Amino acid sequence: MTLEPGHLVERVAERLRGIGGLTTPPPPPERPIRATPDPTAPAAPSPLDEAAAGSETAAAQPIADAAVAPNDETAHTPGFSPETMLARVVADAPPGIARAAAELAQQRPGEALAPLAPLELEALERAGLVVGRKLRTRISEEFRVTVGTIMRSLKTSYTPGRGAGNLLMVTSSRPGEGKSFTALNLAGSIAQHTQREVLLVDMDAKQHSLSDQLGLGDRDGLIDLAANSAMRIEDTVVRTAIPTLSFLPVGTRRGEMADTGEATVARPMTSLIERLGRRFPNHLVILDAPPCLSTSDPSTIASFVGQIVLVVEAERTQKSEVLASLDLIKACQTVTLMLNKIRVTTSYTFGAYHYFGTYS
């Protein structure tokens, strides 16, 4: 007798249920009786609508808050701190964001110096400024004549490439010829008697520098900007009592160079000089550079500035020293020689007629 397949399957299933090897399937649910829908009753939300509403709510929550904000359990965990959370964010962030976050973590509150009030005129005069009172003295008149010569040779604004028109370097052959005195008074005279904004930059990392004389030896400045490209130039510039004159100190890292025996400013200085010219395109940036025969800085920077003023001390600097200095800075096409510390032996000079009036 041949058994039907369906009959054999049913018998095997019954035997399995008897020994507990097969569970009885639950009965199918009864189909509800559909009632006639009421057109005036509000429609119940469907599962799709509820899912969409839930996704909108989740999208409205900031992802950053969910990833960074600590929950109650994390906040009470021993050893938890904002630094720990920042480290987690840095570890999971892309390289660019991680680098910026790491630099932010290294900055400590209160580490930066507070902004200074504008330098008073008395402080500038103690450092050697003699043209600040707008009085017609012999020295102030001589500087005004020199300013006229310089301004006729200067370009009106920054020009890209080497030889930027708004960059002027003041240097000398040897120390003690009066280049810092000249740079300060040129900057003060131009700022007062022209319509040009002036930024005076101290590049001479020596003892008793112009920054020290102005009481700014402990302020961040040029050397710090060269060593840390993340610093802002605006945070190091100091205003003065002359509205159109600002000053950039030499910086606080001169001690590190003294320990290594290096007498020049930090590198890369040429890129920083170009950066100053681009950042202040309508300013005249005057660089108080070291002497030509003392460091290589003037020779290195010569091709990046539009004009150089070489200060020569009368009756002291030798002709061979002047020629050697001119050879070092020949990359600059415009060089003006300024003779300093001249002994006046004639009455035909500025101030001989005691003219105390002024037009500006």
pLDDT for the residue numbered 357: 46
Full pLDDT tens readout for the chain, 360 residues:
544 555 555 665 565 555 555 555 566 665 555 555 555 555 555 544 444 444 444 444 443 433 444 444 444 445 545 555 556 655 665 655 555 555 544 444 434 445 568 899 999 999 999 888 766 777 888 888 888 888 887 766 666 767 788 999 999 999 999 999 999 999 999 998 887 899 999 999 888 899 999 999 999 999 999 888 889 999 999 999 999 999 999 998 765 554 444 444 445 788 899 999 999 998 999 999 999 999 999 999 999 999 999 999 999 999 999 999 999 999 998 999 999 988 766 555 555 444 444 444
Confirm if 257 and 266 have CB atoms less than 8 A apart.
Answer: yes
pLDDT for the residue numbered 143: 85
Confirm if 335 and 169 have CB atoms less than 8 A apart.
Answer: no
- Residue with token string 């091709």: 303
Q: What is the DSSP letter of 285?
A: E
DSSP three-state, residue 199: strand
Dmax over CA atoms of the chain, in Å, equals 151
pLDDT for the residue numbered 151: 84
- pTM for the model stands at 0.64
pLDDT for the residue numbered 287: 97
Domains, the chain, with CATH or none:
140-340 (3.40.50.300)
Question: In this structure, what token pair is assigned to residue 316?
Answer: 């002291």
Q: Distances from the Cα of 132 to the Cαs of 119, 146, 340, in angstroms? A: 12, 16, 19
Provide the 10 A C-beta neighbour count for residue 242.
19
Kindly compute the dihedral angle of the four CA atoms of residues 164, 231, 262, 255, in this order, to the nearest 10 degrees.
140
Spatial distance between the Cα atoms of 11 and 149, rounded to a whole number of angstroms: 119
Q: Distances from the Cα of 310 to the Cαs of 181, 185, 200, 329, in angstroms? A: 13, 14, 16, 10
DSSP three-state, residue 226: helix
Q: What is the DSSP letter of 151?
A: H
Question: In this structure, what token pair is assigned to residue 226?
Answer: 């060269």
Spatial distance between the Cα atoms of 153 and 359, rounded to a whole number of angstroms: 24
Spatial distance between the Cα atoms of 17 and 44, rounded to a whole number of angstroms: 43
